[in-house]
Structure 1
Amino acid sequence: MTSMTMTTATTRTYDETVALVRRHLPDVGFGVLTEIDMQVTLKAKLGVDVEPQIILGACRPELAHAATQADPSVAALLPCNVVVRAHGDETIVETLDPRVMTTMAPGGAALQDVAEDARRRLTELLRLVGNA
């Protein structure tokens, strides 16, 4: 594996891209459990200004259950974070490659099917929201 993440870029605005990601996550079978607005959080906690960035904690309960049944320690890698961040004239959408869990968790081999299912779904999400 050459990268721990899967990424796409778009020329859509940050706000348009966040809305598009939210709209398409259910289309690929994921819901959003958590949200962290990095721009707001870092401004409030550190007084620093950063470009807009949000971390959406996406979950597909069936995959989370199967993964934790195969290896309970993999729960530390859940949910699947989908990051949307402004980057100059582009907006980046990035997610952890689910295959990473097969290399990090002791029961990695047992997680192969779950990782491939999640990867296929997140790859489709990136295809739906990317245009570059």
Structure 2
Amino acid sequence: MSYTLQTTLDGEFESVVERTVAALEDEGFGVLCDIDVRETLKQKLDEEFRNYRILGACNPQLAHDALEEELGLGALLPCNVVVYETDEGDIAVRAVDPKQLVGVADNPALDSVAEEVHERFERVLTAVDRAGN
């Protein structure tokens, strides 16, 4: 069972990152953090790495709803979306599957929030794909 929702497309890396952020915003998510893994590994380890960004996405209302049901869920927030160059030279966009993520909490009250985030992330990936064509 996969722990992410994903798409792979042709395109310029920074452009795909921008489209991903825009698609997240269209679905009500803000990007709370943007970690440039390539730059971090270069600075901290002096190692070269592929273009790889981790976007910490959060929809405030859905996060609030989930935290009302399971206060400890904050340890799993924000939901990460990654954009990276594949070995084949394509750009992958992967979002954590919220159904899998909240499954570790074993709290059925979170199912509706997880389903809502799942559906929104699917629309984000579809929008990123469409914008690239």
Cross-structure match for 1:75: 74
In 1, Cα distance between the equivalents of 2:72 and 2:63? Answer: 12
Cross-structure match for 1:57: 56
Whether 1:113 and 2:119 are equivalent positions in the alignment is no
Gaps of 5+ in 2: none
* Structure 1 residue ranges, 4+ long, deviating more than 3 angstroms after superposition: none
Q: Could you give the per-residue CA deviations for residues 48-94 of structure 1, whole angstroms, max 9, x where no partner exists?
A: 10100111111100011111111111111111111000113200000
In 1, Cα distance between the equivalents of 2:50 and 2:129? Answer: 19
Gaps of 5+ in 1: none
In 2, Cα distance between the equivalents of 1:18 and 1:100? Answer: 24
TM-score (norm 2): 0.92
TM-score (norm 1): 0.93
Q: Could you give the per-residue CA deviations for residues 13-66 of structure 1, whole angstroms, max 9, x where no partner exists?
A: 111101111221111111111111000001111111010011111110001111
Cross-structure match for 1:25: 24
What is the Cα deviation at residue 4 of structure 1? 0.7
Q: Indicate the SS of the match to 1:29.
A: coil
Does structure 2 retain, via aligned residues, the 8 Å contact 1:102–1:109?
no
Q: Indicate the SS of the match to 2:98.
A: coil
User: Cα RMSD between the aligned structures?
Assistant: 1.3
Amino acid of the structure 2 residue aligned with 1:89: G
In 2, Cα distance between the equivalents of 1:57 and 1:96? Answer: 10
In 2, Cα distance between the equivalents of 1:90 and 1:112? Answer: 33
Cross-structure match for 1:86: 85
What is the Cα deviation at residue 119 of structure 1? 0.4
Amino acid of the structure 2 residue aligned with 1:124: R
Cross-structure match for 1:103: 103
Q: Indicate the SS of the match to 2:124.
A: helix
Instruction: Give the total of aligned pairs.
Output: 130
In 1, Cα distance between the equivalents of 2:38 and 2:102? Answer: 31
What percent identity do the matched residue pairs reach? 38
Does structure 2 retain, via aligned residues, the 8 Å contact 1:5–1:95?
yes
Q: Indicate the SS of the match to 1:130.
A: helix
